[in-house]
Amino acid sequence: MSVEFNLSNIIKAPVVSEKSTVAAENHNRFVFKVASQATKLQVKKSVELMFNVEVEKVQILNVKGKAKRFGRFMGKRSDWKKAYVKLKEGHDIDFSAA
């Protein structure tokens, strides 16, 4: 029970952008914002559990936060982790139905 609860906290949100939409349509890859301490295996198990699909491959990268000005002060957005998840042939995730 606790394993499933931990896996549900791995995926934070899907990344919806022009690049992620093209990857989903052409290469059956979906992009997610994930927990900063997540591993490839945790992301794979979490996606398979949440969306009832089979994952072929997971690629993870760290996204550095931008330096931004907030009024007269310089600040920095938080760093975050992104996961590209390639699904096996015949599997698909439909975000519009969820």
pTM of the model as a whole:
0.85
- The pLDDT score that the predictor gives to residue 93 is 85
- The pLDDT score that the predictor gives to residue 98 is 53
Contacts of 62 (CB under 8 A, 6+ apart): 36, 79, 80, 81, 82
Q: Which CA distances in Å does 43 have to 10, 18, 31, 66, 67?
A: 7, 22, 11, 25, 28
The tens digit of pLDDT for each residue in 14-67 reads 999 999 999 999 999 999 999 999 999 999 999 999 999 999 999 999 999 999
Residue 69 β-bridge partners? 74
DSSP-H helix ranges across 28-66: 40-51
